[in-house]
Amino acid sequence: MAKFLGKSCHGLYGDNVEEMDWMVGKILNSLDKQGLKKHTFTYFASDHGGHLEAHDGSAQLGGWNDGKGMGGWEGGTRVPGVFRWPRVLPAGAVIDEPTSLMDIFPSVVHLAGGILPKDRRGVWVTMYLFYTSGNCDVYQGKQWSCLKIWLILCLFPITCVSDPSKPNFLLILVDDLGIGDVGCYGNDTIRTPNIDDLAKDGVRLTQHIAAAAVCTPSRAAFLTGRYPIRSGMASSTRQRIIFWNGCSGGLPPNETTFARILHQQGYSTALVGKWHMGVNCRSRHDHCHHPLNHGFDYFYGMPFSLLNECQGSDEPQLAKSLQDTYWLYTQMIILAVLTLLFGKLTNLFPVKWKIIVCLAICGVLYFLSWFSSYGFTKYWNCILMRNHDITEQPMNLEKTTSNMLKEAVSFIERNKHRPFLLFFSLLHVHTPLITTEKFQGRSRHGPYGDNVEEMDWMVGRLLDAIDKEGLKNTTFIYFASDHGGSLEARRGNTQLGGWNGIYKGGKGMGGWEGGIRVPGIVRWPGVLPAGTVINEPTSLMDIFPTVVHLAGGKVPQDRTIDGRSLLPLLRGTAQHSGHEFMFHYCGVFLHAVRWHQKDSGTTWKAHYATPAFQPEASGACFGRGICPCFGDGVSHHDPPLLFDLSQDPSEENPLSAHTEPLFDTVTRRIREAVEEHRKTLTPVPQQLSPYNNIWKPWLQPCCGTFPFCWCDEENNKADSIV
């Protein structure tokens, strides 16, 4: 350009160098203008040394060094090399170790999360380093080791600033949402534009499977990547979820969650919303099961779950399911204590006082639990916490939605300059349906439809917060439900639970697709191909290895991890799921097994037990409230009911040896897989045992003087942002 001619003191070559520098500056200014400076790895170099022989008469037209074309002399091979990555690479640093232009290949591949080719490594018997003096040394590998250390420091810096090599994570888990409730999964009457846009911009999973059909075990599996039976979070009784804040059961402290690993990797981690995996073990304040003891830096939400008792307007849920059981157990234990006491005092049979006292204590606990179910559930279970402190007891449901959303948005704003994990665990769309006035009456499907549409709006507000902070391209977003919609949730003729589309069954049914097949959407602009649909079997447990891998952590090697990384499927580098078999439990009872036969593309499913519907053809257990896992409410099948989900996803037409030539082969292979799977199971304490799941006064969280527990610290907070 004419503007640079004659500007330097080194003739045409100097002019050209200065113009080149100006061009570099324009590119850097463009990065700054677009707000990309902190998120861009910038590298500057030359392809080789300057050309000494380039002359125009006496004018030098080449660079200054020992010379282009001289393969051994430093002037022909040593070039400028400058890196910039603000807040990741140390500014002003000078590295004197040998490096190469070829090092850029593994560096950028590693930073982008790729894998180096394994099929093209050259074999050098001996490598030499040549120096300008003419001497040479045998290459010892020290230089490359130093470079690898430098790369590791760059990839995993010990710093509180944002690291572009680590994406942020926004994990959204809805409560009780049916797969048929969302527009992008076929619903054309409930409006879910924000979720639909998320699927349009990301990847939609059509065979996304929960590890359990009820809340507590499904969430335990989601956080740990392990079947609930491995952590003791699967029940052998009819109590399949945590029933009290004041019980001793919960997610064991020795379980490793993805939040704990990401915290160790320098992430800021938060859980906003529902926990429902226990609080205390031995005392009211030990918080051994609390989110902050499982890797989360910040918690705001319910340690329990929504119940009708929290609202007080509908039929009590907990009381309905527990009162008869607690009263029966109380009577049985009292009778046993009186019998043993009579035998002890009359010397009819020997019995230790310790046994009598222990039974008496159990009887008292069951009596207290029975008594508490009459009117006290709202105070014991419907509480709101910020970290370790109770802020509302009982909760004020009118502001719950705005408070949860405000806390989630605030966390994003506070942590926009550092990598973060936000697990937004919605209370929507579980009963009671706490829908704000703004959304009441808006949908075509009554209170449930209103609640779903408000949930979609909340998702949209979170996405807006991500976009506003310029984090869209650096945030891995995941959306799912913890299990299928509840078919039995009704008020008269009004349906208060979700719709599971074409899939049979619903919440509580461990084997049928309607209870475990859920929506699953992943978005990461620029990394995952937009608008992709994946039909391969995937699991909520897959999120554990996926986020751990992306965050630079390591999956634990001292335990079985049942999840499989979704990255190969999401990026299109693999055609098939990492799951060959999936085991569908109802409590500790194996109800069904899925076999993904990859060579044929067929997905088989064998049912060993199915719930007995009430009424018989209703497709649900209306007479029980929720379908049981064992007993007279279950039908057992030998041989199992076999379905080809590839052809019959609704599970309407069971196959037999007469209709399917491969019936015996398939059922035999599935039976072998079950035997292999059971060999990997080890006995663990049952967190949902009757003793662990009974209310204990000394474990009850209380913000006042027990039993007078009441507080409302949220009432003085800022006005709603709804």
Same domain, yes or no, for 325 and 443?
no
Distance (Å, rounded) from C-alpha 290 to C-alpha 61?
Answer: 71
Backbone angles phi, psi at 721, to 5 degrees: -100, 5
Do 52 and 138 belong together in one domain?
yes
pLDDT in tens, 313-372: 666 655 555 666 766 777 788 888 888 887 778 888 788 888 888 888 777 777 776 666
643 part of a folded domain: no
The predicted pLDDT at position 69 comes to 64
Q: How far is CA 156 from CA 90, 144, 151, 504, in A?
A: 13, 18, 9, 47
Torsion-angle region of residue 561: left (phi > 0), alpha (psi -120 to 50) or beta? beta
Residue 173 has pLDDT above 50, yes or no: yes
pLDDT tens for residues 434-443? 999 999 999 9
* C-alpha span between 713 and 264 (Å, rounded): 32
Identify whether the C-beta of residue 576 lies closer than 8 Å to the C-beta of residue 596. yes
- Judged against a pLDDT cut of 90, whether residue 379 lies above it is answered with no
Considering the domain architecture, whether residues 400 and 512 belong to the same structural domain is answered as yes
- The domain of 343 spans 320-368
Q: Is the pLDDT of residue 63 over 80?
A: no
Asked if the peptide bond before residue 615 counts as cis, ω within 30 degrees of 0, the response is yes
Beta carbons within 8 Å of 631's beta carbon, 6+ residues apart: none
- Out of 75-89, 215-229, 459-473, which region has the weakest mean confidence (pLDDT)? 75-89
What's the mean pLDDT in 568-591? 96
**Band of pLDDT at residue 153, cut at 50, 70 and 90:** very low
- What is the mean pLDDT of the segment spanning 456-466? 98
Residue 59's pLDDT band, with cuts at 50, 70 and 90, is low
Q: Is residue 479 part of a domain?
A: yes
Round to whole Å and give the CA distance between 590 and 64: 75
276 is catalytic: yes
Q: Directed axis angle between helix 317-346 and helix 353-372, to 10°?
A: 160
379: left (phi over 0), alpha (psi -120 to 50) or beta: alpha
Task: Domain count for the chain, please give it.
Answer: 3
Whether residues 502 and 574 fall in one domain: yes
Q: Of residues 39, 263, 276, 428, which has the active-site annotation?
A: 276
673 C-beta neighbours (distance < 10 Å), count: 18
Q: How confident is the model at residue 162 (pLDDT cuts 50, 70, 90)?
A: very low
pTM: 0.74
182 and 140 within one domain = no
Beta-carbon contacts of 343 under 8 Å, excluding residues fewer than 6 positions away, are 349, 351
Helix 446-468 with 400-414: angle, nearest 10 deg = 20
Residue with tokens 């125009």: 56
For the chain, percent helix, then strand, then coil, each to nearest 5? 35, 20, 50
> CATH number of the domain that 218 lies in?
3.40.720.10
- Judge whether 709 counts as a catalytic residue: no
User: What pLDDT sits at residue 220?
Assistant: 98
The larger pLDDT score, comparing residue 133 to residue 18, is at 18
| Of residues 334, 323, 403, 439, the one with CA closest to residue 371 | 323
What's the pLDDT band for 55 if we cut at 50, 70, 90?
Answer: low
List 154, 215, 247, 310, catalytic entry: 215
Amino acid at 358: C
Q: Has residue 181 been placed in a domain?
A: yes
Q: Does residue 619 sit within a domain?
A: no
- At residue 318, the pLDDT reads 57
Q: What pLDDT score was predicted for residue 518?
A: 99
Q: Are residues 201 and 133 in the same domain?
A: no
Asked whether residue 389 is domain-assigned, the answer is yes
Q: Average pLDDT in the 514-527 region?
A: 98
Q: Same domain, yes or no, for 177 and 283?
A: yes
Same domain, 390 and 496: yes
User: Do 113 and 85 touch, CB atoms closer than 8 A?
Assistant: no
The burial class, CB within 10 Å (0-12 / 13-18 / 19+), for 373 is buried
- Name the band, by pLDDT with cuts 50, 70 and 90, for residue 57: low
Whether 246 and 390 share a structural domain? yes
pLDDT digits 0-9 by tens, 609-647:
999 999 888 999 998 889 999 999 999 999 999 999 999
Residues 487 and 352 in one domain: no
Residue 297 lies inside a defined structural domain of this protein: yes
Q: Do residues 24 and 42 lie in contact, with contact meaning Cβ atoms separated by under 8 Å?
A: no
Q: Residue 379 falls within a domain, yes or no?
A: no
Q: What ranges in 50-179 are assigned the alpha helix state H?
A: 74-77, 104-111, 142-155
**Same domain for 294 and 336:** no
In a domain, 609, yes or no: no
Residues 439 and 490 in one domain: yes
Task: Give mean pLDDT, residues 397-423.
Answer: 96
CA 235/CA 315 separation, integer angstroms: 25
Picking from 90, 178, 74, 205, the residue whose alpha carbon sits closest to that of residue 134 is 74
